[in-house]
Amino acid sequence: MLDIAEELHRWVEQGRDFAVATVVAVGGSAPREPGAALAVDADGTAIGSVSGGCVEGAVYELCQQALQDGESVLERFGYSDEDAFAVGLTCGGVIDILVTPVRAGDPVRTVVAAALTAAARGETAAVARIVSGPAELVGRAMLIRPDGSHDGGFGAHPELDRTVAAEGGAFLDAGRTGTLEIGERGSRCGAPLTLLVESSVPPPRMIVFGAIDFASALVRIGKFLNYRVTVCDARPVFATRARFPQADEIVVEWPHEYLERTEVDTRTVLCVLTHDAKFDVPLLKLALRLPVAYVGAMGSRRTHLDRNERLREVGVSELELARLKSPIGLDLGARTPEETALSIAAEIVADRRGGSGVSLTGAHTPIHHDVPSQPPGRIGSVA
């Protein structure tokens, strides 16, 4: 639901009634991840998507029905060998979808509106909704903030609200969306519960070092992939708004000095395109010791070998060097700045999603790699 927060926030501001269908869980080769959503308003306008198109029609009808009767419903779609023409996923996957009406006067509207507002503003927040359990609780929602406070609740027992706020906060801390299972004892309502926790966090950062033509192309594709992009170069004549109009931030500073003072996290990607040892070595020495998602450096194979020797000389370990993607990008035969930017972006996506980077033609690996739905170190169930 939060993936279409900007549009839904406008609907709320306009006072529209709507129903939202959200992917809760997926299996096999399903095309969308948990949290993907399709919404339909009272006039029949639809936004978003929950599949590659194969079940959208049926989900649209479920949304219209939810608007009429005010009931939330959990529906499963999958391929049926017995009836290959039944509504389902022809790719062979399975998806569970929660359809929730959001109408004036519905108890869930206030919480959903607050969650959509936070997500549309780029604020950190999570919304937890009950997807299975007692019928009177299905669809109810809670907004969870980073400080542990929450709005809304489930009306069953204060202890349930506290449990969901705490466990949902773990999802929020990790920036993850997934399901949370609460057993009968923990639910305090006489039955086990399943909740969908959707996290909204600010876009991850992409920091591009080196204000060259390749960087300009990488900025454009980085924005397309929903990164907040910073360009950093020590040369003011090159690091200009005119050259990088789509960058969120342009910094004129020695790259390693900027990296020392700026904030990065485990989702940040660092792309070193400076291609100059006086910039590369101090920058990479620092970058390879930071808890970031990706560090890549441009250069020929000869440059790569020379740079690695220089890094060893300044104390970079073999374990740290193993983190470096160099030469940067996948082997696409790229020549132009745009093609090179595409190869870099492809490597970043493959690294993030666990892809092999090889052609799918003739491959026997899954097309969609499974991503853990629970934060590392936490279990997705509570007794």
Characterize the bridge pairing of strands 205-209 and 269-272: parallel
What pLDDT does 94 receive?
Answer: 82
pLDDT at 376: 33
Percent of the chain with pLDDT over 70: 88
Residues 6+ apart with CB under 8 A from 92: 28, 29, 79
Question: Cβ neighbours of residue 218 under 8 Å, at least 6 residues apart?
Answer: 206, 208, 271, 273, 340, 341, 344, 345
Tokens of 201: 């966090």
Q: What is the pLDDT of residues 250-309, one digit of tens each?
A: 999 999 999 999 999 999 999 999 989 999 999 999 999 999 999 999 999 999 999 999
Greatest Cα pair distance in the chain = 70
The residue among 121, 135, 197 whose CA lies nearest residue 166 is: 197
- pLDDT for the residue numbered 374: 38
SS3 per-residue string spanning 261-307: HCCCCCCCEEEECCCCHHHHHHHHHHHCCCCCCEEEECCCHHHHHHH
Domain ranges of the chain: 2-200, 205-353
| Per-residue pLDDT at 317 | 96
pLDDT at 127 over 60: yes
Residue 108 phi, psi dihedral angles, 5° rounding? -80, -15
Assign domain 205-353 to its CATH architecture.
3-Layer(aba) Sandwich (3.40)
> Is the pLDDT confidence value at 174 over 90?
no
pLDDT tens-digit series, residues 72-101: 999 998 755 444 344 445 555 788 999 999
The total of other beta-carbon atoms located within 10 Å of residue 155's CB is 13
pTM (2 d.p.) = 0.77
User: Helix crossing, 5-13 with 107-120: angle to 10°?
Assistant: 130
